[in-house]
A and B are shown apart, each in its own frame.
Chain A
Amino acid sequence: EVQLVESGGGLVQPGVSLKLSCAASGFTFDESAIHWVRQASGQGLEWIGRIRSRSDNYATAYAESLRGRVTISRDDSKNTAYLQMNSLRTEDTATYYCTSLVVRGNFNWFDPWGQGTLVTVSS
């Protein structure tokens, strides 16, 4: 079964850092780009960024609004991707999803998605 499982969320205080994990199974993880998406309660989906595969030099890209505070990394030996967020703010409170990018010819889309992990930033 193709699966992504996020972990590492929880209640944190403003200003701290947090590292989320995304464990993959059932597909060729090391050939896949992994993206992170978040969603505040009752709000829409926000793309955070991505990391490509080794064959694409693990290239990363980030949303402009978060650039400088987030870092995406991966460990192919563990089939796991990570999202590091620094200087957390209350507005970072959201459910964080990881998803794999499927590429077919000139087109690509997100599938599958993890179940999400909730991060609550509050004092």
Chain B
Amino acid sequence: IQMTQSPSSLSASIGDRVTITCRASQSILKDVNWYQQKPGKAPKLLIYAASSLQSGVPSRFSGSGSGADFTLTIANLQPEDSASYYCQQSYGTLLAFGGGTKVEI
């Protein structure tokens, strides 16, 4: 199952609302997770099961979707949100990540 993520990059201002989308090649119910990765660091879990916020993650991050279409939204963009973001499907045996979205402030 492939994950197509868009856009590959975006530039936004402090306080903006940012939306990143992922489309699966088939229905994967709600088996999608979202990660944030900063340069030189390992990925960090933000959202699991499409819409559940990981403990300690700011509430301006939210996820939605089911079936094949999923969205990560960052409300009120902050300077520390400058990073790359990846969706990941956890459905089935062979897992996969989306291509990533680089968010620049």
Residues of A within 8 A of B (CB): 35, 37, 44-47, 50, 61, 63-64, 97, 102, 104, 107-111, 113-116
Known A107-B48, A114-B42; judge A47-B33 contact (CB<8 A): no
Interface class of chain B by DSSP: loop
- When C-beta atoms are compared, the residue in chain A nearest to B5 turns out to be A44
Nearest B residue to A61 via CB reads: B93
| Chain A residue at minimal CB-CB distance from B49 | A107
Please, how many angstroms separate the alpha-carbon atoms of A12 and B60 in the complex? 43
Across-interface contacts of A111 in B (CB, < 8 A): 45, 54
User: Could you show 8 A-B contacts with beta carbons less than 8 Å apart?
Assistant: A44-B99, A47-B96, A64-B94, A107-B90, A108-B31, A109-B49, A109-B90, A110-B88
Cβ contact of B48, chosen from A35, A46, A109, A113, cutoff 8 A: A109
- Known contacts: A97-B42, A113-B42. The answer to whether A108 contacts B90 by CB under 8 A is yes
- Chain B, 46-105, CB within 8 A of any chain A CB: 48-49, 52, 54, 86, 88, 90, 93-100
- Evaluate contact between A107 and B94: CB separation under 8 angstroms: no
A61 to B88, alpha carbons, bound, how many Å?
A: 17
**Given A35-B95, A45-B86, A107-B30, A116 contacting B100 (CB threshold 8 A):** no
Contact of B42 among A35, A61, A116 (CB under 8 A): A116
B7 at the interface (CB under 8 A from A): no
Q: Which of A44, A104, A108, A113 contacts B97 (CB 8 A)?
A: A44
